[in-house]
């Protein structure tokens, strides 16, 4: 019995000593994990929503008739969408068009929005006048009625040449209930929390104290790289570059898979 008690006491002593000697790295690792979770969560929601948006065309005939080679008086510059919305919150989608000629352009714009499911949709159309060599915005609203599959609102805009879609772009919005926050505060909270946690976690993790110096350095630099990849992905999602953000999300996931075994060997 005494031997067992001494063994337990020895283990407790070693564990306490380990916590004291490595408390900075333990705290840093915990904070880093929080930042990574927010980073992965934000990037995943944004990319998945936009990926679904890319597959949404509304009328299948528009998808089949789409011809980028059609001449147009203007160019579709970009589409701007909310990344997150709260349940019941309305949002505004903005598509920007630029005139290609030195004369005033009058273009036909068509937007489709998901409704109830992937097959149903509603249409918003309008003639949009654009002054010579200038830009003009076309806006339409999305509401809770446009949500499909419980979380997604999908929309696509077309620049029409008569009845033929000549230019198009799309986006997806994810509806999320998070402590009663609206969409913009949710995005800000995720970005700020992830940024601060990743930076503070990296600072506390450097320099690492380990007998395995070479392995420790590889893990530290790997974590710094992971933090940078997550932050770049978040910036890309804010700019609407969802394909670029998706590639960085995959890269972050692969890097995490590589780092986990190294971190395990480092801790033993």
Residue for token digits 């004291």? 20
pLDDT (tens digit per residue) in 43-54: 999 999 999 999
d(CA 168, CA 161): 12
pLDDT (tens digit per residue) in 106-162: 999 999 999 887 788 999 999 999 998 899 999 999 999 999 988 999 999 999 988
d(CA 89, CA 85): 6
Helix (H) or strand (E) holding 126: strand 117-130
Closest alpha carbon to 89 in 29, 147, 43: 147
Q: What is the pTM of this model?
A: 0.85
Hey, how many other C-beta atoms are within 10 angstroms of the C-beta on 118?
A: 16
For residues 94 and 139, the answer to whether their CB atoms sit within 8 Å is: yes
pLDDT (tens digit per residue) in 154-186: 999 999 988 899 999 999 999 999 999 999 999
């Amino acid at each position: 019995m005494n031997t067992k008690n001494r063994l337990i006491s020895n283990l407790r002593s070693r564990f306490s000593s380990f916590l004291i000697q490595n408390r900075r790295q333990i705290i840093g690792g915990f904070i880093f994990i929080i930042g990574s979770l927010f980073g992965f969560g934000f990037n995943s929601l944004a990319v998945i929503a936009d990926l679904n948006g890319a597959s949404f065309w509304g009328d299948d005939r528009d998808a089949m008739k789409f011809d980028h080679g059609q001449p147009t008086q203007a160019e579709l510059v970009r589409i701007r969408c909310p990344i997150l919305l709260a349940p019941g919150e309305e949002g505004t989608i903005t598509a920007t068009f630029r005139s290609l000629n030195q004369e005033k352009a009058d273009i036909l714009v068509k937007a489709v929005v998901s409704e109830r499911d992937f097959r149903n949709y509603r249409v918003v159309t309008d003639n949009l006048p654009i002054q010579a060599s200038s830009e003009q915005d076309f806006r339409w609203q999305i509401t809770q009625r446009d949500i499909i599959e419980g979380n997604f609102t999908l929309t696509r805009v077309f620049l029409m040449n008569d009845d033929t879609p000549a230019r198009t772009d799309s986006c997806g919005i994810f509806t999320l209930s998070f402590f009663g926050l609206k969409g913009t505060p949710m995005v800000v909270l995720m970005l700020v929390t992830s940024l601060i946690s990743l930076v503070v976690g990296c600072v506390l993790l450097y320099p690492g104290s380990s007998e395995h110096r070479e392995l420790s350095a590889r893990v530290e630099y790997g974590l710094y790289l992971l933090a940078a990849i997550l932050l770049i992905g978040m910036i890309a999602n804010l700019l609407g570059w969802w394909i670029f953000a998706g590639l960085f999300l995959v890269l972050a996931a692969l890097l995490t898979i590589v780092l986990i075994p190294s971190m395990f060997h480092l801790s033993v």
